Structure 1
Amino acid sequence: MNRATAAARTRFHPLTVVDRDTASADGASLAITLRVPTPLRELFSFTPGQHLAVRATVDGAEVRRSYSLCSPPDELTGRGTLRIGIRLLPGGVYSGHAASALVPGATVHAMPPLGAFTTSPDPARSRRYAAVVAGSGVTPVLALATAALAAEPGSTFTAVLANRTADSTMFAEQLADLKDRYPARFALTRLFSRERLDVGLAATHLDDAALDGLLTTLLPPHQVDEWFTCGPAGVVDRVRRALAGRGVPAEAVHAELFHAAPAPPPATTGGDRALTVRLDGRSTRVDTDAGTALLDAALTARPELPYSCRTGVCGTCRVRVVEGEVRMPGSLALDERERAAGYALACLATPLSERVTIDFDVV
């Protein structure tokens, strides 16, 4: 990847809203379809399961969020569009903006897709995929299932979806369409914590007991090749522990967290650490201290740095540490190979050594 392309991947680009649909029966979710200008379509190419970092100015303040793509890649190549799913949260700053402002003709500023919660379909292989998700965690799984079932005629996909109620389920119609299209290859089990239906399982939380039953009867781990789990931290951690306890190797499990980002902490400048930041071929030095996240310190001098969630979930601020040492907490947005290669998330990492240099241009 040349420097110009690398720089373009860390910038926001204007996309146009061309369609807007309600994505759940309760009206609390949206599917926003965006048109990508022809010159940007190669840059915005993606694999199923990835997400977009978006930004907007709301009440005079910049807000950034990440939303998963729910459309398959062939919609971008064939129609020039991609689609994201947005759950409207009470008091949600960006989702409130989306509810009122993201109508056809509006502009959404977005970075090119990224994320490791994905797989690359291969027509030559036959695999059994399984997903255990909660709430809006179904959004990337819809794209994953759609792409895998279309590209791999010998593969199957089983999804377990937990929600509070049937009406709060996002993309229920699209999931039903998948079932109609692939009746022998796509299976869907729905769990509802606040209601009991005449069909399916009784009202239940996706707790340890429910997971044990699912993994004993519906999804014996030895019969599954690749796993996906997405949703709140409690659900994702529970699924990962259950799979690990049954001998499923970590590399067979893709995990992603969904939650609202908290307000960022105040940045600290000055101190006994020297941080050098490289972006777009330009280096900038900032003085900071051992307790301040690299991103918080760097933004005081380079406000154009790429970031979104600020909580180590989305991976937008992924950097390579090319000098010095940092303290990097565990995060699902970085795998062990990336950590071993010197990558870190600037929103979580703090400087250990007196001098640290991070490079946003190395991808």
Structure 2
Amino acid sequence: MTTPSFHPLTIRECRRETADTVSIAFDVPADLADRFRFVQGQYLTLKTRIGDEEVRRSYSICSGVGEGELRVAVKKVDGGLFSTHANQSLAPGAVLEVMTPMGRFHTPIAPDAARTYVAFAAGSGITPVMSILKTVLAQEPKSRFVLVYGNRTVSSIIFREELEDLKNRYIGRLVIHHVLSREPEEAGLLGGRIGAGLVRELCAGPLKAEDIDAAFLCGPQPMVEEVRDALAACGTPPANIHVELFGTTTSARPAAKMAATDTPTDAATIAILQDGKRKEFTLAYDGESILDAAHRHGADLPYSCKSGVCCTCRAKIREGKVEMAENYSLEPWEVEAGYVLTCQSRPLTERVVIDFDAA
């Protein structure tokens, strides 16, 4: 596995999508084309300096595989340092440090398959869904896609015109339900919010929950969890439901210190494996996260959100045990296989070996 790495990329285009959202397309040099080859639903971590501060943020790719471009969308949020900078200051010709694509918010494409895909997205949660939707429709000609997309008003619908064009291009294969929370109902648009009630209503119609081959949920944590539980209750196999958050409602908590009888030493020995090299240091059981400690000891490990959402700091435990304070991005099979989010991990044993080179 190639370790994620940053590369300077020049912005080719900044396109205004809504009043508070801009999409950014990058030029990718030929010698980096393979490194920036992506799978639908993946994301990029962008890094720059704003004033005296280094800022890193992760944004989902909105391009379809095969479209020939690398593009992300950035929605301005109140108090958002990078999102404000992107919407107000970035322009073609500017250079950002961009990490190679990451993320597993997707299922493999099967050109001969005839599948039913469903996506529930809110606001900027449409970004990875656009990549998935466009790729599926282009590369699985027998499959169909149902999109339920929530926004406040018509004017806040990101990619509105592009979605309409796609619906016209893939008549009979793409169904879009717009849900507006702060605007009177218009013809063809639903009022209210995306939640369990809407899921049950849709599944009582022509969309049968048990027939959903893949459901993609992207948005704020409460919506994602409510829709996930409602789909499962209606009969969608939990293994077919895939989630991605763009925010959480909880804050990370420190791991509890182990009893002296379990850990006779005051600190654990941590070994980091990266790019075929090894770095060791000690870390108190109730101290900082393994990621933060590793950076303090000179390791240049990948990270972005540090809140357990983006999965950029994912690595595999080769020896020992850790406790994760939060996990919003690892799949159950990954946890079972020994993968952890190092930004949320603290040691539980005297020795922990963590492999960043593991696939």
TM over 0.5: yes
How has the CA–CA distance of structure 1 residues 264 and 338 changed in structure 2, closer, same or farther, with 3 Å as cutoff? closer
- Which residue of 2 is the match for residue 64 of structure 1? 56
Q: In the alignment, does 2:47 pair up with 1:55? A: yes
- Which residue of 2 is the match for residue 88 of structure 1? 76
Deviation at 1:203, TM superposition (A): 2.4
Equivalent pairs counted in the alignment come to: 348
- Which residue of 2 is the match for residue 345 of structure 1? 341
SS at match of 1:13: strand
- Which residue of 1 is the match for residue 262 of structure 2? none
Deviation at 1:90, TM superposition (A): 1.6
Alignment of 1:47-196 (within 5 A): 47-76=39-68, 81-196=69-184
Cα distance in 1 between the residues matched to 2:59 and 2:235: 32
Deviations 1:42-98 (A, max 9, x none): 11111111111111111211111110000012133xxxx310011111210111221
SS at match of 2:40: coil
Cα distance in 2 between the residues matched to 1:180 and 1:216: 26
Name segments (4+ residues, structure 1) moved above 6 Å: 260-266
Q: In the alignment, does 2:9 pair up with 1:15? A: yes
- Which residue of 2 is the match for residue 333 of structure 1? 329
Deviation at 1:164, TM superposition (A): 1.1
- Which residue of 2 is the match for residue 209 of structure 1? 197
Alignment of 1:21-32 (within 5 A): 21-24=15-18, 27-32=19-24
Cα distance in 1 between the residues matched to 2:246 and 2:306: 13
Percent identity reads 39
Deviations 1:313-360 (A, max 9, x none): 111101111111111356342122222221111011211112111111
- Which residue of 2 is the match for residue 297 of structure 1? 293
Deviations 1:118-152 (A, max 9, x none): 12222111111111111111111111111111111
- Which residue of 2 is the match for residue 34 of structure 1? 26
SS at match of 2:145: strand
Cα distance in 2 between the residues matched to 1:188 and 1:287: 53
- Which residue of 2 is the match for residue 280 of structure 1? 275
- In 1, are the aligned partners of 2:253 and 2:325 still within 8 Å (CA)? no
Gaps spanning 5+ residues in structure 2: where?
Answer: 255-264
Deviations 1:3-35 (A, max 9, x none): xxx2xx3220111100111112xx100110111
Cα distance in 2 between the residues matched to 1:218 and 1:23: 32
When the two chains are superposed, the root-mean-square deviation of aligned CA atoms in Å is: 2.2
Cα distance in 2 between the residues matched to 1:17 and 1:335: 33
- Which residue of 2 is the match for residue 359 of structure 1? 355
Cα distance in 2 between the residues matched to 1:280 and 1:207: 44
Gaps spanning 5+ residues in structure 1: where?
Answer: none
Deviations 1:219-277 (A, max 9, x none): 320232111110000111011111221232221011100128999999xxx95222222
- In 1, are the aligned partners of 2:49 and 2:55 still within 8 Å (CA)? yes
Deviation at 1:293, TM superposition (A): 1.8
How has the CA–CA distance of structure 1 residues 202 and 342 changed in structure 2, closer, same or farther, with 3 Å as cutoff? closer
Q: TM-score, normalised by structure 2?
A: 0.91
SS at match of 1:353: coil
Deviation at 1:218, TM superposition (A): 5.2
How has the CA–CA distance of structure 1 residues 137 and 218 changed in structure 2, closer, same or farther, with 3 Å as cutoff? farther
How has the CA–CA distance of structure 1 residues 346 and 261 changed in structure 2, closer, same or farther, with 3 Å as cutoff? farther
Cα distance in 2 between the residues matched to 1:208 and 1:263: 25
SS at match of 1:75: coil
Deviation at 1:185, TM superposition (A): 0.7
- In 2, are the aligned partners of 1:131 and 1:228 still within 8 Å (CA)? yes
243-252 vs 13-22, greater mean Cα deviation: 243-252
- In 1, are the aligned partners of 2:308 and 2:329 still within 8 Å (CA)? yes
Task: State the AA in 2 paired with 1:331.
Answer: N
Cα distance in 2 between the residues matched to 1:219 and 1:102: 42
SS at match of 2:155: coil
- Which residue of 1 is the match for residue 260 of structure 2? none
Task: State the AA in 1 paired with 2:278.
Answer: S
